[in-house]
Structure 1
Amino acid sequence: MKTQTPTQPSYFVPEPLDNTRLAHLCGPLDENLRQISSALDVTIFRRGEKFIVSGANAERATELLERFYAVADKVVPIEEVQLALVEQRAGLKPAIGEPAGARKPAAPEAGAKTAADGDAGADDDAAGGTEDDEELVSPMLKTRRSDLRGRTPHQIQYLKAVLEHDISFGVGPAGTGKTYLAVACAVDALERDAVKRIILTRPAVEAGERLGFLPGDFAQKVDPYLRPLYDALYDLLGFDRTQKLFEKQVIEIAPLAFMRGRTLNHAFVILDEAQNTTAEQMKMLLTRIGFGSKAVITGDVTQVDLHKTQRSGLVDALHVLKDVRGISFTHFSSADVVRHPMVARIVDAYEKAAAIQEIGALPTTSVNRNARKKP
């Protein structure tokens, strides 16, 4: 019987020793260390200034500790730690304290396969790997957030697709940045004067509830459905600037039901929660696109709130438009989730449960059918 060789622990001793930087690295009540330990499945012990890291990804965790300590002259927020862990999980080198455009591939996780495992990857390595490096460079967007960039390969691909195509689809689970990055591209286009206005639209479908009559004027009735888009605008433009652009109708809120008959010229159109559109609504929106306009359609096909008898317009569009030239499709997975690390695990758990339920239903059905045939 073959015995597995235990992984050697990795050690990190901060140099030069600074108690303030050490406190910033660990975070309040060692919260930063817990985040790294949980995300990389390692154990981190600290004895004074010495860190002992054990586990399959001990070296990667040690590298993170070194990089965070180098910039720990100020408080290291937990959000920055979580974003760095997302980039580690996606195989990118976290740009801690580096310019937003400096993107480099990181060492893969233990047991993970990379493009270099195949013949094509070997050829790329022999050529210097310049094409892969270029693909991992995130586009720079002109927004209030100077640190905004694609955190995973799929997010970088999504940003490039939106910038290079007139119509783009972003499909994937919650927390993968579909809506936020779409709004960032819209703000970037507006700031660069590539478009004259931003139009935000979303189907007014409740998530499994019946809210009934909503008081207020037109804007107040649709505001609850478009709140995620508002939040992204406030973050990227600031509250005051966003309000002024709303007053000038440079940014427009347009419920999907009232888009019929319009022609949207020189506009950046974002359709959010597209999985809750019908096939007719999706066709109607896509045929509104005018000259000098862009459209981004985002949605999660696993969270459809339509009636069971209705086919999702997003699912239908992915099938109908897959061969149409000039339209891009970006598919996200749980590896692209840029939220609390638990969100990625929750998405994985639901996907695994759904797969098991789907596979398990087939034998059960066949057994029941055979049982009925027996006398």
Structure 2
Amino acid sequence: MSSYTIIVPDSSMLSRVCGTNDGNLRLMESFLGVPVFARGNELSIDSGDSSLEQKFRFAVDRILDEFSSGSGVVSDEEVVRSVINGGAECSLSIAIPGGTKKVFPRTRGQSVLLQKMRTSDIVFASGPAGSGKTFIAVAEALRLLLSHKVHSLVLSRPVVEAGESLGFLPGDLQDKINPYMRPLFDSVNAVLPPDTVKRLTESGIIEIAPLAYMRGRTLSSCAIILDEAQNTTVEQMKMFLTRMGENSKVFVTGDPSQVDLPRRTPSGFLHALNLLRDVDGISTAKLTSEDVVRNGLVKKIIQAYENEER
């Protein structure tokens, strides 16, 4: 029987993976069904089973990812238990060629969303702020782009003011639009090195396209993300969806609780969710406050507002 070893260069991270008195290792052993050994900066198992080795690798990678991105609200043991209890989710990840890290769905809802993105050409993702819908969409789109499954990535948002006026922002049109597109680029910058982001944007492979400027285009061999889609009108949503060309993927994300359209103007996002839910090739995923992965207080805030609305 051969030994399979994972090197953890950060000794503090390795200590956290092992846990107090190796308590976390015992949890991993119950999950894997084989002993886990810690020697120096290495974790290893005795196995000749490639599927078990992959399960071990995904579990350790995801635990390390959770430790790196966690807010400290939950204990290390709770993180390990959460990963282990996720079961099959441990084998689901987004590996972006040339990326700075592997991206894991961190909740059941995010895992379902990613699965639908892998199997459908158009996916509508509905959920509250902080539920990871935009981040998962951007990471999966970048995987498609840098794996050469598509040739370009288009990032789009409707330019709708949430109580502020676009006209009073300083600078030219591009300067005015940049604040609206910043959240999408924050997600891009979180998983790609700065020089790669610069190269892809300067060459036009990653393109910023405000929704108003997409009329008349056909986007082929392209990953297309429409963010903040709850602020589209019915006509805008129809226009956007019909831009889709051959060999393209479309991810539409929105938060129905944050519609900034003028009163009595129907949301194109909500209309499309209802109209297209039974169309073959189109999937919908609904994330909830349980999928919120920002600061723990964000989840509590969203739940408080939801309770008041009920």
Q: Normalization by structure 2: what TM-score?
A: 0.75
Q: Summarize the Cα distance change of 1:78–1:140 in structure 2 as closer, same or farther, 3 Å threshold.
A: closer
- The structure that has the greater radius of gyration is 1
1:118-151 per-residue CA deviation (whole Å, 9 max, x = no partner) reads: xxxxxxxxxxxxxxx4466323422524341111
Partner of 1:7: none
Is 1:138 the equivalent of 2:118? no
Whole-angstrom CA distance in 1 between matches of 2:27 and 2:122: 40
Partner of 1:118: none
Partner of 1:250: 205
Which segments of 5 or more consecutive residues in structure 2 lack a partner in the other structure? 1-10, 29-37, 42-63
Partner of 1:196: 151
2:212 maps to a residue whose letter is A
Alignment check: 8 A CA contact 1:173 1:332 kept = yes
Q: 1:80 aligns with which of 56, 70, 80?
A: 70
Partner of 1:186: 141
Quote the offset at 1:153 in angstroms. 1.1
1:340-364 per-residue CA deviation (whole Å, 9 max, x = no partner) reads: 1111111111100111xxxxxxxxx
Partner of 1:11: none
Alignment check: 8 A CA contact 2:93 2:103 kept = no
Whole-angstrom CA distance in 2 between matches of 1:135 and 1:79: 18
Quote the offset at 1:86 in angstroms. 11
Quote the offset at 1:224 in angstroms. 0.7
Alignment check: 8 A CA contact 2:122 2:281 kept = yes
Whole-angstrom CA distance in 1 between matches of 2:121 and 2:74: 31
Whole-angstrom CA distance in 1 between matches of 2:273 and 2:129: 18
Alignment check: 8 A CA contact 2:150 2:222 kept = yes
Q: Secondary structure at the match of 1:212?
A: helix
Which stretch shows the higher mean deviation, 239-248 or 276-285?
A: 239-248
Q: Secondary structure at the match of 1:311?
A: coil
Q: 1:266 aligns with which of 221, 225, 228?
A: 221
1:218-233 mapped onto 2 (5 Å cutoff)? 218-233=173-188
Partner of 1:177: 132
Whole-angstrom CA distance in 1 between matches of 2:96 and 2:253: 21
1:308 maps to a residue whose letter is R
Alignment check: 8 A CA contact 1:171 1:331 kept = yes
Identical amino acids, percent of aligned pairs: 42
Partner of 1:281: 236
Q: Secondary structure at the match of 1:231?
A: helix
1:241 maps to a residue whose letter is T
Partner of 1:330: 285
Alignment check: 8 A CA contact 2:73 2:296 kept = no
**Larger relative contact order (CA 8 Å, sep ≥ 6):** 2
Is 1:105 the equivalent of 2:59? no
Quote the offset at 1:225 in angstroms. 0.4
Quote the offset at 1:213 in angstroms. 3.4
Q: Secondary structure at the match of 1:270?
A: strand
Is 1:162 the equivalent of 2:117? yes
Quote the offset at 1:237 in angstroms. 1.5
Partner of 1:149: 104
- Quote the RMSD (CA, aligned, Å): 3.5
Alignment check: 8 A CA contact 1:167 1:295 kept = yes
Q: Summarize the Cα distance change of 1:87–1:264 in structure 2 as closer, same or farther, 3 Å threshold.
A: farther
Quote the offset at 1:87 in angstroms. 11
Q: Secondary structure at the match of 1:305?
A: coil
Whole-angstrom CA distance in 2 between matches of 1:237 and 1:87: 30
Whole-angstrom CA distance in 2 between matches of 1:163 and 1:256: 24
2:113 maps to a residue whose letter is Y
Partner of 1:354: 309
Whole-angstrom CA distance in 2 between matches of 1:149 and 1:87: 18
Quote the offset at 1:94 in angstroms. 3.9
Quote the offset at 1:196 in angstroms. 0.5
Quote the offset at 1:84 in angstroms. 6.6
Which segments of 5 or more consecutive residues in structure 1 lack a partner in the other structure? 1-19, 26-48, 51-58, 65-69, 96-103, 107-132, 356-375
1:14-54 per-residue CA deviation (whole Å, 9 max, x = no partner) reads: xxxxxx97xx86xxxxxxxxxxxxxxxxxxxxxxx99xxxx
1:68-96 per-residue CA deviation (whole Å, 9 max, x = no partner) reads: xx89x8x996743648779959xx8444x
Whole-angstrom CA distance in 2 between matches of 1:270 and 1:196: 14
Q: Normalization by structure 1: what TM-score?
A: 0.63
2:96 maps to a residue whose letter is K
1:145-170 per-residue CA deviation (whole Å, 9 max, x = no partner) reads: 43411111111111111121110011
Alignment check: 8 A CA contact 1:136 1:156 kept = no
Whole-angstrom CA distance in 1 between matches of 2:76 and 2:92: 15
